[in-house]
Amino acid sequence: MNETYTLYGSRGSGSAAVEVALEACGLAYRMVRAATWEPDSALEELRRVNPMQQIPTLVLPDGGVMTESAAILLHLGFDVPAGRRLLPEDSGARAQAIRGLVFIAANCYSAISIADYPERWTLSTDDKGREDLRQGTRKQLHRHWEVFADTFTGTPFLSGAQPGALDFLAAVVSKWAGTRAHLRENRPKFLGTLESIEAHDIVAPVFARHWDA
């Protein structure tokens, strides 16, 4: 059996969160650049394992396929021995980390698709209608992040003494749709937590590969 994971993703995408998790667990993986917005990438290879062509997609050593960032992080945290560091050991803290991962997936990550591709989510064909949808979605997304910041207040990291799956996903998804700028004005303390996550020794090298300084 192949002991290497295969991660399909692209620079600046949600695959960064999974990449950090794999690095944190010390798991061997092969990175395949694939994204629908990059026509020269490995789209056919991605389509064979995930017909929806969404990233991140993670192929497990046994050939199984995992999609959805939160699901991938939870799988690594629960089912991979090295992944135990991704979720808190304390059951109460672990429950809140799971809650936070699903919160981001349901309320924050999902809004990005609408903000980026409003034409997919409205019957309106005029530019104003689509831009109104985009801006309305961004406003609601930023409100969701305010709720998240007020709810998940772990220190020094969201997961406690060390960053874990919740930290990795929050740090990545908060980079999109003007969220960091909004938090700077409205939740500066929480933004400081995100910046501490980003600067951590495990996270910083991966983020440097995905985003310009």
Number of domains comprising the chain: 2
Q: Is residue 208 part of a domain?
A: no
Q: Is residue 209 part of a domain?
A: no
pLDDT at 213: 66
Domain final position from 85, 119, 147: 85
Closest CA to 180 of 145, 131, 129, 207: 145
CATH label of the domain that carries residue 115: 1.20.1050.10
| DSSP category for residue 114 | H
Domain that holds residue 96: 87-200
103 and 193 together in one domain: yes
Q: Is residue 38 part of a domain?
A: yes
pLDDT at 3: 82
58 and 116 together in one domain: no
CATH label of the domain that carries residue 13: 3.40.30.10
Q: Is residue 213 part of a domain?
A: no
Beta pairing partners, 33: 9
pLDDT at 65: 98
62 and 92 together in one domain: no
Prior bond of 56 cis (ω within 30°): yes
Instruction: State the Cα–Cα distance between residues 23 and 20, nearest whole angstrom.
Output: 5
Q: Is residue 192 part of a domain?
A: yes
Domain final position from 85, 103, 133: 85
pLDDT digits (tens, 9 = 90+) for 154-188: 999 999 999 999 999 999 999 999 999 999 999 99
Instruction: State the Cα–Cα distance between residues 131 and 184, nearest whole angstrom.
Output: 24
HEC profile of 80-97: CHHHHHHCCCCHHHHHHH
| DSSP category for residue 160 | B
125 and 135 together in one domain: yes
Average per-residue pLDDT for the chain? 96
pLDDT digits (tens, 9 = 90+) for 118-132: 999 999 899 999 999
Instruction: State the Cα–Cα distance between residues 196 and 46, nearest whole angstrom.
Output: 33
* Both structure tokens of 91: 């059951």
51 and 114 together in one domain: no
Domain final position from 85, 101, 116: 85
pLDDT at 83: 80
92 and 186 together in one domain: yes
Instruction: State the Cα–Cα distance between residues 202 and 189, nearest whole angstrom.
Output: 22
Question: pLDDT tens per residue, the chain (213 residues)?
Answer: 468 999 999 999 999 999 999 999 999 999 999 999 999 999 999 999 999 999 999 999 999 999 999 999 999 999 998 888 899 999 999 999 999 999 999 999 999 999 999 999 999 899 999 999 999 999 999 999 999 999 999 999 999 999 999 999 999 999 999 999 999 999 999 999 999 999 999 999 999 999 986
How far is the first Cα of the chain from the last one, in angstroms, to the nearest whole number? 39
129 and 189 together in one domain: yes
35 and 126 together in one domain: no
95 and 164 together in one domain: yes
Give, in order, the Cα–Cα distances in Å from 135 to each of 115, 131, 132, 138, 176. 7, 6, 5, 5, 13
Q: In what order do the strands lie in the sheet with 57-59?
A: 29-33, 5-9, 57-59, 65-67
**DSSP letter for each residue of 101-137:** HHHIIIIIIHHHHHHH-GGGS-S--SHHHHHHHHHHH
81 and 91 together in one domain: no
